[in-house]
């Protein structure tokens, strides 16, 4: 039985104490979902505004697309148990920073750092943690810039700061990460422990990073040429 089933079961129990406990848990869960979904919308809106402004100012959209997700209840409680925390909604809100997640897919590596800088520079955004897996990739080759930010959500009872994990990566990084995840989690145990397979996946990550670098260099060259042409025409 999942934690969601536990909550539903308790809320429908004929035992008054269990039923009251279940109702409270269900209410806490619904409030958490509403709060974190609101935080996701706040972050996504900020990113969309930054992307639109950058497009007008520089004739370039740094963001290719934005995805978001809210951790499922089984995933939340499994992580709490793994970390040794109580498996409750309150414990999740106090101890987990990745319940709400926003993934930002950029065209170029430069765009990743530009978006991160612009987002964190906003007055109501509080940087909680920054982990750069681009400059220092994970052992398996994974690359991405991870930010945990505190974002205010304005409710009837006042403002609440909610942590949101923002992962910013290029199209190539996202392509590799998505397929690597599928291979790693949907393969049998023998394949998962295949050293040569892990080496092959890491080699693919290195090739993707090299492609990112080449595409970035091409874009920088084109941008330099465009700026030189504008300057010559007196537009800069």
State the catalytic residues.
165
Joined tokens for residue 217: 């260099």
Report the candidate in 121, 140, 143 with the shortest Cα–Cα distance to residue 131: 143
The helix-helix angle for 3-11 and 16-58 (nearest 10°) equals 130
Specify whether the CB–CB gap between 122 and 45 falls below 8 A.
no
Specify whether the CB–CB gap between 83 and 98 falls below 8 A.
no
Coil vs helix vs strand at 46: helix
Specify whether the CB–CB gap between 164 and 40 falls below 8 A.
yes
Please name the residues in contact with 165: beta carbons below 8 A apart, sequence gap of 6 or more.
97, 98, 100, 101, 102, 146, 147, 148
Please name the residues in contact with 112: beta carbons below 8 A apart, sequence gap of 6 or more.
104, 106, 134, 145, 168, 169, 170
Q: Report the 10 Å Cβ neighbour count for 170.
A: 26
**Rounded distance between C-alpha atoms, residue 60 and residue 64, angstroms:** 10
- The beta strands (E) that lie in 21-93 are given as 63-70
């Amino acid at each position: 039985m999942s934690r969601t089933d536990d909550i539903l079961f308790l809320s429908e129990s004929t035992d008054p104490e269990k039923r009251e406990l279940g109702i409270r848990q269900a209410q806490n869960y619904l409030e958490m979902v509403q709060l974190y979904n609101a935080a996701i919308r706040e972050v996504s809106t900020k990113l969309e505004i930054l992307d639109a402004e950058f497009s007008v100012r520089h004739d370039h959209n740094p963001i290719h697309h934005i995805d978001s997700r809210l951790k499922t209840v089984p995933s939340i409680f499994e992580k709490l148990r793994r970390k040794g925390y109580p498996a409750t909604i309150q414990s999740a809100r106090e101890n987990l920073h990745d319940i709400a997640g926003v993934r930002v897919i950029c065209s170029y590596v430069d765009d990743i750092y530009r978006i991160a800088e612009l987002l964190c520079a906003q007055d109501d955004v509080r940087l909680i943690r920054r982990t750069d897996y681009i400059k220092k990739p994970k052992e398996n080759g994974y690359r991405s810039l991870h930010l945990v930010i505190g974002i205010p959500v304005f409710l009837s009872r006042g403002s609440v700061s909610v942590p949101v994990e923002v992962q910013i990566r290029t199209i190539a990084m996202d392509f590799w990460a998505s397929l690597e995840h599928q291979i790693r989690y949907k393969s049998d145990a023998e394949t998962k422990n295949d050293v040569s397979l892990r080496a092959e996946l890491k080699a693919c990550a290195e090739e993707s990073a090299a492609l990112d670098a080449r595409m970035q260099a091409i874009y920088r060259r084109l941008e330099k040429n465009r700026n030189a042409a504008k300057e010559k025409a007196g537009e800069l």
